[in-house]
Amino acid sequence: WLNRLRKVVAYIDPLDLQYNRHERRPKPKTQAVMFCLMDVSASMTEPLKELAKRFFMLLHLFLSRHYSEVDIVFIRHTTTAQEVDEETFFRDTESGGTVISTAFEEMQRVVGERYPVEDWNIYAAQASDGHNFDDDMDRCLAFLENQILPISQYFAYIEVMPEDHHSSTDSVAWAGYNQIAPKYSHFAMRRVSSPVEIY
């Protein structure tokens, strides 16, 4: 019986199998994009922007150690938002109020045009002094929860304040973000008033 079986069943070497098997392997994501979002209205003074810059630089350094390619997208906003270069992002100041949701809309537009979520790890870092039009906060939070956080690996918000700032009331942005932060492990928020607090 064994002799007959040997004649009927051909010998298959394991080496033959390794070239004929088709296995699905996950495509590693080795690239990330970091969105820097910042309020550039008149209330964001140069010292506050300097704090924000240190924050963005530290996060970029962290990402560069974990990904082979890291793109940076700079989005500034007042009542409208626009993608700009680094120099314009940190140097120019504009007049007008603050509508945070416009920055999220611009970020979503850029993601849709250049950074498909299946190929890119998306990070967002927002710096603000906490100002926002009251009637924008609901829209801002809805956009953050439904559009931005679902596609982001991590979202970090810092509220920059002067060192001599003493206020017992929360800013509009801080109060709004504080409502949703506990629900998301990849959403972080901190207040910063000096360079040593950035880390």
Query: So what's the pLDDT on residue 7?
Result: 55
- How much is the pTM? 0.83
d(CA 52, CA 37): 10
User: 34, 70 in Cβ contact below 8 A?
Assistant: yes
d(CA 19, CA 48): 59
| Rounded (5°) CA angle 110-175-59 | 45
Give CA torsion, residues 152, 131, 140, 170, to 10 deg. Answer: 90
Query: So what's the pLDDT on residue 14?
Result: 47
What average pLDDT does the chain have?
Answer: 87
Query: So what's the pLDDT on residue 134?
Result: 86
Query: So what's the pLDDT on residue 17?
Result: 45
Query: So what's the pLDDT on residue 94?
Result: 72
The pLDDT tens digits of the residues spanning 9-32 come to 555 444 444 455 555 555 557 899
Query: So what's the pLDDT on residue 163?
Result: 82
Query: So what's the pLDDT on residue 16?
Result: 46
High-pLDDT (> 70) share of the chain, %: 83
Query: So what's the pLDDT on residue 113?
Result: 97
71-74 own/partner pairs: CB under 8 Å, 24+ apart: 71/31, 71/32, 71/33, 71/34, 71/115, 72/33, 72/34, 72/36, 73/33, 73/34, 73/35, 73/36, 73/107, 73/110, 74/36, 74/38
Residue bearing the bigger pLDDT, 174 or 25: 174
The pLDDT tens digits of the residues spanning 48-81 come to 999 999 999 999 999 999 999 999 999 999 999 9
Query: So what's the pLDDT on residue 4?
Result: 56
Mean pLDDT of 93-101: 84
Query: So what's the pLDDT on residue 51?
Result: 93
Residue bearing the bigger pLDDT, 100 or 92: 100
Res. 146 pLDDT band, cuts 50 70 90: very high
